Amino acid sequence: MIYEIETNDLAETIRELKAKDGTGEIPATAALASGVLASFFEPIGPLVVARR
């Protein structure tokens, strides 16, 4: 999955996501493999959206 996150404090955003993991706000699911891998990237140019 890819999520777009807008924040001025990425560390705090990560803490909030971890605190909500497995709760009603971010329920756990068997569809995800055990363990977590996350990468964060900062854009180097404008967002490009495909035409449909």
Please tell me the distance from the alpha carbon of residue 3 to that of residue 47, in angstroms, as a whole number. Answer: 14
Q: Judge if pTM exceeds 0.85.
A: no
| Nearest partner of 13 among 40, 43, 44, 34, judged by Cα | 40
What would the two tokens of residue 47 be?
A: 């967002």
What would the two tokens of residue 22 be?
A: 């497995």
Please tell me the distance from the alpha carbon of residue 26 to that of residue 22, in angstroms, as a whole number. Answer: 6
Give residue 29's pLDDT.
Answer: 75
| pLDDT tens column, 17-51 | 888 887 888 777 777 666 667 888 888 999 899 99
Yes or no: say if 40 and 10 are a contact pair by the CB < 8 Å rule: yes
Give residue 12's pLDDT.
Answer: 95
